[in-house]
Amino acid sequence: MSPASPRYYTVTWDQLHRDSKALAWRLVGLGPFRGVIAITRGGLIPAAIVARELECRVIETVSVLTYEEEARGAPRVAKLPAAAGDGAGWLLVDDLVDTGTTAKVVRALLPKAHFATVYAKPQGRPLVDTFITEVSQDTWILFPWDTEPQFIAPIAKARADGGAR
Q: Which of 17, 18, 41, 125 binds ligand PRP (CB under 6 A)?
A: 41
Interface size with ligand PRP, residues (CB under 6 A): 18
Contacts with ligand HPA by CB under 6 A lie at 67, 96, 98, 140-141, 143
Cis peptide before 41 (omega within 30 of 0): yes
Q: Number of H helices and number of E strands within the chain?
A: 4, 8
Residue 11 lies near ligand PRP (rule: CB under 6 A) = no
Q: Tell me the residue type at 19.
A: D
Q: Which of 42, 46, 87, 124 binds Mg ion (CB under 5 A)?
A: 42
Q: Applying CB under 6 A, which part among 63-71, 83-91, 107-115, 152-160 lies near ligand PRP?
A: 63-71
Does 94 qualify as catalytic in the annotation? yes
Does 138 qualify as catalytic in the annotation? no
Sheet holding 35-40, edge to edge: 71-79, 59-68, 35-40, 90-97, 114-120, 130-134
Q: Under the phi-then-psi rule, with left for phi > 0, alpha for psi from -120 to 50, and beta for the rest, what region is 154?
A: beta
| Partner from Mg ion, ligand PRP, ligand HPA, none binding residue 100, C-beta < 5-8 Å depending on class | ligand PRP
Distance in angstroms (rounded) separating the CA atoms of residues 130 and 73: 26
Residue 124 lies near Mg ion (rule: CB under 5 A) = no
The set of catalytic residues is: 94-95, 98
Footprint of ligand PRP on this chain (CB under 6 A)? 39-42, 65-67, 94-103, 124
